[in-house]
A and B are shown apart, each in its own frame.
Chain A
Amino acid sequence: MYIGAENIISPLGNNAQEVFGKMSLGISSLIDKGGVVQSYFPSNELELLPLMRKSILHSISEINEDYLSETKTLLIISTTKGEINSLEKDIRKAHLYSLSQKLSQEFDCVDKGIVLSTACVSGLQSLIIANDMINNDYYENVIVCGGDLASNFVIEGFTSFYALSDKPCRPFDKERKGLNIGEAVSTIILSKVKNSFKETPFWFAGGCSVNDANHISAPHREAEGLVKSIRNTLEMSSISVDAVDFINGHGTATIYNDKMEAKAFGKLGFVNTPINSLKGFFGHTLGAAGVIETAIALQSMRHNLLLKCQGFLNQDFTQELDILTENRDVKIDAILKTSSGFGGFNASAIIQRR
């Protein structure tokens, strides 16, 4: 199905174009806050709901007027922790479903709102399910909004895992030593009709998720789940390894995650395909990650400009990969997006120019 109308609200800016522009200049929002490197909004009482409202509104404005109201539209909220900062004060607010309930009531064009929560895979899986829902004629449009906050809840949790880096993270680099948490909201719309979009959309060819069935918090040594997911996705999308122009990986910059991903890409023969991870620009944005990273990938296609893998300098794996050390001007017709996360989840999808 057609995919576009991407919006991003992040510490780097308030729309996808602005954020992409800063990233193309090598600007990162990762900074030290009280001894923890993270990407955060300068606000004390930060709430997710108003950010999501603003982001959805912006994306809807990129669709031709009335189109969404006249056709059947689903809203998918992708989040891992929602309004987690309300956990102590107001448990009702901390319920994830309150986000989709409120937002689907606020937007008249939305027929139904749902929440999807599958850890770091949430965002990409929401896009995959959006595509599936339209393909199977259950809906004509799906608005996917991903968001999460850089809460103490999450930071203390990852600290207990020794998963955080005390410096800006370095995805796929030999010296990588952990991730940084980021906060952001991002929205993307999928639709059956190409000319419902004001700006030319792209084509979401297909995607799927596969569980490792191996460990709930450690990546599979042989990358079994990710390999199987990518294989299935390529088959569903009728596209060969050679036809993929670019891979935007998950690349959290933890030792084992990146090793697993590199193994998967190598095994599948993506040895000359340019690869990046965007975590060095805005950290790991959890439930927003798959959406914001896909939004940037769409911007890359619009500008035919691949962004460097911020933080990467030296190869670490036996199978060398083309991890981008500089921005690269190149025509991009097909991209592969992948995500992996807790619970042994892996997801992948193909987006094409069409």
Chain B
Amino acid sequence: MHISYNKSKKGVTIKQSSNYVNIELKNKYYDLNLDYPKFFKMDNLCKLGILGVELLLRENRGFFENKKNVGIIFQNKSSSLDSDLEHQSGMENNTVSPAVFVYTLPNVVIGEISIRHKWKSEGVFFVGEDIDHELLSQYSNILLKEIRSELNIIGWIDVFNNQYVLKLCAVDKQVTHMQLKELLA
């Protein structure tokens, strides 16, 4: 197994174990026995998001049952810079492709996850140098309190320069930023 993940309450973590990002993500897809060919068209940020949410769902089956209104609140440091650089090199080599350009926006990973799980709900993508537990917990609390979502997936998902990291958790009630910090530890 190339990727380790820790169960901690309802959280999941995918950590990198080598410099072979593409291979690691592909192996994880096969480890999980996913049957979702669209996966192979995605950039690495989206692949990581699809894998992370799949793990989260499998670790928390009962929790997600009958939940339709699932909010997604993500943050990262590198936005979509990984795909931005690929598009940039396409510009230099006259090989610009819409299949790359479409991934030069960080929120597309939320779109891909929403499509896979048919979640038609709130989604937001923040960018910051470090994970902002206060911000993420505040917005999750707002969505739950106003019943704009019944469960939120909150997390940090970053891919850049052959490095990646994902930490996700699911919450269905108000959390303080310290509680969120524990869930995403």
| Chain A residues close to B by CB (< 8 Å) | 80-82, 84, 87-88, 91, 94-97, 100-101, 114-119, 121, 125, 129, 132-133, 135-136, 138, 152-153, 156-161, 208-217, 224-225, 228, 232, 236, 342-345
Given contacts A152-B91, A216-B108, A216-B111, contact A97 B127 (CB under 8 A): yes
Complexed CA–CA distance, A343 and B124 (Å): 11
Complexed CA–CA distance, A50 and B97 (Å): 32
| Nearest CB of chain B from residue A157's CB, rounded to whole Å | 4
| Nearest CB of chain A from residue B138's CB, rounded to whole Å | 5
Given contacts A157-B101, A211-B121, A213-B120, contact A119 B145 (CB under 8 A): no
Q: Does B13 contact A (CB under 8 A)?
A: no
Q: Does B164 contact A (CB under 8 A)?
A: no
Q: Does B85 contact A (CB under 8 A)?
A: yes
Complexed CA–CA distance, A178 and B128 (Å): 33
Whether B79 lies near A96 (C-beta < 8 A) is yes
Whether A157 lies near B87 (C-beta < 8 A) is yes
8 Å CB contact of A138 from B118, B122, B138: B138
**In the complex, what residue of chain B is closest to A122 when comparing beta carbons?**
B107
Q: Does B139 contact A (CB under 8 A)?
A: yes
**In the complex, what residue of chain A is closest to B109 when comparing beta carbons?**
A343
Provide a sorted-by-A list of 15 A–B residue pairs whose CB atoms are within 8 angstroms: A88-B88, A114-B126, A115-B127, A117-B105, A117-B125, A136-B141, A156-B101, A157-B87, A157-B98, A161-B102, A208-B122, A211-B111, A225-B120, A236-B146, A344-B115
Given contacts A211-B119, A216-B102, A343-B110, contact A153 B81 (CB under 8 A): no
A97-B127, A208-B148 given; 4 more Cβ-contact pairs under 8 Å: A91-B81, A95-B81, A236-B146, A343-B107
Complexed CA–CA distance, A344 and B124 (Å): 12
Q: Does B16 contact A (CB under 8 A)?
A: no
Q: Does B112 contact A (CB under 8 A)?
A: yes
5 A-B pairs with the lowest CB-CB distances in the bound complex, closest first: A343-B111, A157-B101, A115-B127, A213-B114, A118-B107
Which residues on B sit within 8 Å (CB–CB) of A133?
138, 142
| Chain B residues close to A by CB (< 8 Å) | 77-79, 81, 84-85, 87-88, 91, 96-98, 101-102, 104-108, 110-112, 114-115, 117-129, 132, 135, 138-139, 141-142, 145-146, 148
Complexed CA–CA distance, A158 and B97 (Å): 10
Whether B91 lies near A153 (C-beta < 8 A) is yes
Complexed CA–CA distance, A21 and B123 (Å): 36
Whether B88 lies near A342 (C-beta < 8 A) is no
Complexed CA–CA distance, A157 and B104 (Å): 9
**In the complex, what residue of chain A is closest to B99 when comparing beta carbons?**
A160
Whether A119 lies near B88 (C-beta < 8 A) is no
Which residues on A sit within 8 Å (CB–CB) of B102?
161, 216-217, 342
Whether B142 lies near A132 (C-beta < 8 A) is yes
Which residues on A sit within 8 Å (CB–CB) of B145?
136
8 Å CB contact of B124 from A96, A159, A160, A209: A209
Whether A97 lies near B84 (C-beta < 8 A) is no
**In the complex, what residue of chain A is closest to B94 when comparing beta carbons?**
A156
Complexed CA–CA distance, A228 and B119 (Å): 13
Given contacts A153-B88, A160-B97, contact A119 B107 (CB under 8 A): yes
Whether B87 lies near A153 (C-beta < 8 A) is yes
| Nearest CB of chain A from residue B147's CB, rounded to whole Å | 10
Complexed CA–CA distance, A87 and B89 (Å): 11
Complexed CA–CA distance, A97 and B117 (Å): 30
**In the complex, what residue of chain A is closest to B88 when comparing beta carbons?**
A87
8 Å CB contact of A87 from B84, B97, B111, B127: B84
| Nearest CB of chain A from residue B76's CB, rounded to whole Å | 9
Whether B138 lies near A216 (C-beta < 8 A) is no
Whether B119 lies near A213 (C-beta < 8 A) is yes
Whether B124 lies near A129 (C-beta < 8 A) is yes
Whether B79 lies near A95 (C-beta < 8 A) is yes
Given contacts A95-B77, A95-B79, A117-B127, contact A161 B101 (CB under 8 A): yes
Complexed CA–CA distance, A91 and B82 (Å): 11
Which residues on A sit within 8 Å (CB–CB) of B123?
118, 209, 211, 343, 345
Which residues on B sit within 8 Å (CB–CB) of A84?
84
**In the complex, what residue of chain A is closest to B119 when comparing beta carbons?**
A213
Whether B108 lies near A343 (C-beta < 8 A) is yes
Which residues on B sit within 8 Å (CB–CB) of A115?
126-128
Which residues on B sit within 8 Å (CB–CB) of A209?
122-124
Which residues on B sit within 8 Å (CB–CB) of A101?
129
Complexed CA–CA distance, A211 and B121 (Å): 5
| Nearest CB of chain A from residue B140's CB, rounded to whole Å | 11
Complexed CA–CA distance, A114 and B91 (Å): 30
Given contacts A114-B128, A136-B142, A153-B87, contact A344 B114 (CB under 8 A): yes
